[in-house]
Amino acid sequence: MADSTQMFRAGETHGHAQAKSEECIQSAKDTASTACDKTENAAQSTRDSAQQQDSGFLQQTGEKIADMAQGAVDSVKNTLGIGDNNNRS
């Protein structure tokens, strides 16, 4: 009878070990999945932030160029005597 009891306990121990192993594997998968999700969210947040900064920079640059172009137009008009300051009404 000792042999059958030992075999039963060995099988039981093996079953517990296998269940515990599967539990650990599932926990590791869950942890990896959570880390992946957090990394993806952080990457998306970084992309959004960079895009907002880029669009703000481009808008400021565009406004500066428009101001410079308007200044050049005004300068040419003044040189030719057709600027707002030289109108003789």
For the stretch 17-44, pLDDT in tens is 899 999 999 999 989 888 888 888 888 8
Tell me the longest C-alpha to C-alpha distance in the chain.
124
Amino acid at 67: D
Cβ-based neighbours of 40, under 8 Å, separated by 6 or more: none
| The token pair that represents 75 in the structure block | 């300068």
- Residue 12 has a CB neighbour count (10 Å cut-off) of 10
d(CA 62, CA 58): 6
> Higher confidence at residue 84 or residue 86?
84
Asked if the model's pLDDT at residue 49 lies above 80, the reply is: yes
